[in-house]
Amino acid sequence: MQYQLSAPTILILIAPLVLGLSLYHLARACFPLQRRPKDISWIGREQGLLSAFRACLAQWQYNPAILEAGYKAFNKTGKAFLMPLISFEPVVILPQEHIQWIIDQPPTVLCPRRAAYSRMGVRYVAPGFTPATSEILHTAIKVHLNKKFDRLQPAMYDQLSWAIDRSFGTANCVSKVSLGDALRYAVYHTLVPVLAGRELAKNERFVEAIISSSQWFGAASTITGQCLPAPFRGVIGWVLQKPIGYVQRRYLAYLMPIVKERLNKLQEDSQVPEDMVTWLCQAILKTRGPEGAEGVFADAFNLLLGAAFTSTVLTAHHALLDILGSSEKAEIYQILRSEAESVFDGPAKWADPATVHRLGYIDSTLRESLRRAPPTSMALLREVVPRDGLALPNGQLLNKGSWLAVPSIPIHNDKRFYENAEQFKPFRFVQDGKSESCVSTSDTFLSFGHGRSACAGRQFATRILKMMLSYIVLHYDIEEIDGRPPNFFMGEHAVPPDVVVRVRRRA
């Protein structure tokens, strides 16, 4: 008697196989093998079933203490370790003594752009953006902004003083101010004349639109790049492109007519204002020509919003919270005020670029705040490029496609490099006759990166921050707060909490 399998029976037999294969391929996609070198030990991984998966899942709320534990357990003995992340793409964390080796490697061996393009989520929420667009932006910053912003300081001061007075108030009485909102308003309005043109300097609707755009872009890129497994990034990124596109079109409606006019004038060799709009247009025309120039400009400017505007706001916010939350707030504030009074002893000094370089205590305060809260907890992110992988200086092997970085927060908190590293000591970098500029990078100060890929716009951003902090301590009394409130993390980025402070304009 011949037995025939019924359709339900066949389905019952095949279904587990199909399901198993599907789950296997999904796991491979979510948890790519090239990101998990066999030679490298994990931190935070316990024994048992799906241990690596569970270690990554446990980082649904990023915990920098795990990074600190790995630094102590592995990095201090010269070994690398795997840092689990909720994206299920762990990063190989190298010891501090490997930093020089990292920055010595060419991009054909360790590529910073390829890693950042994915890890920062840009490729998912801004599909029109390419590494070539990033190069154009870097050219505009290095060739033009860094060499010409001395000429812009008088205009920057006029806008800065107006913006701070508007956000902190001018009444000679105590008022309550949201520190985060006030700094965001002041920073964006200060940067607009330089980065978007004087025509839009006091256009409130334009500034509201770029604030909204930078917040959407920053949150969306962080979520897709750092908080989602790879297979879901494309879909979620596509969904998020819709609201991002809407808020971007709001500010581009004001900006693009200016861009079109500048492009036309540059091609006619007519005189144009000196600002980032002009410099970006010049870089685009030189490298790409006029065809599609407006689209390239829009993509580059979107990245500029996050790189220049958002990071400057966060740094200013961290610094003021560190000062106001210190047990020595009164003494610190008075030292900063005395320095600002001596340097800016007349209105003309605000327009003199040389005066900013004399703000040693204010510079040190900003550097110390950046030491305590670097923009990202893992610096010098790179992707291994060679097909055969790469051997670390200690002999450990990495696969092609592996991501590596160094732990900036644990390095900044290492007592080998900083005395009383757990304390906020604002004048740490001007004591004992030594002076280290806020913009200087090293293998123990990684807030701006280090080496060839260090932040190109750090000189400009630091000048703005020094002028803003000087103006605030000179013209405002701000009551101290009850201790420095802890930061929270969005992805791997430390974000300061907003607080309401009591402020009074000095007579």
Q: Does residue 56 contact residue 88 with C-beta atoms inside 8 Å?
A: yes
**Of 399, 398, 404, 361, whose CA–CA distance to 381 is shortest?**
404
**Of 45, 57, 66, 65, whose CA–CA distance to 88 is shortest?**
57
Query: Per-residue b/e over 254-275, b at no fewer than 16 CB within 10 Å?
Result: bbeebbebbbeebeeeeebeeb
For residue 120, the Cα-to-chain-centroid distance in whole angstroms is: 9
For residue 335, the Cα-to-chain-centroid distance in whole angstroms is: 29
Please state, in angstroms and rounded to a whole number, the distance separating the CA atoms of residues 231 and 35.
15
- Using DSSP's 3-state secondary structure scheme, residue 81 falls into strand
Binding-site entries for heme: 455
Q: Does residue 240 contact residue 224 with C-beta atoms inside 8 Å?
A: yes
Which strand (E) or helix (H) includes residue 63?
Answer: none
The residues, any chain, with a CB within 8 Å of residue 447's CB and separated by 6 or more, are 370, 371, 374, 375, 379, 408, 412, 441
**Of 224, 226, 215, 225, whose CA–CA distance to 62 is shortest?**
226
Please state, in angstroms and rounded to a whole number, the distance separating the CA atoms of residues 347 and 502.
27
**Torsion-angle region of 422 (φ positive above 0: left; ψ -120 to 50: alpha; else: beta):** alpha
Question: How far lies 26's CA from each of 17, 29, 44, in Å?
Answer: 14, 5, 23
Q: Does residue 349 contact residue 341 with C-beta atoms inside 8 Å?
A: no
**Torsion-angle region of 271 (φ positive above 0: left; ψ -120 to 50: alpha; else: beta):** beta
Q: Does residue 326 contact residue 332 with C-beta atoms inside 8 Å?
A: yes
Helix 276-287 × helix 230-267 angle, to 10°: 100
Question: How far lies 299's CA from each of 241, 304, 367, 391, in Å?
Answer: 13, 9, 31, 36
Q: Strand pairing of 110-111 and 81-83? A: unpaired
Binding-site entries: 455
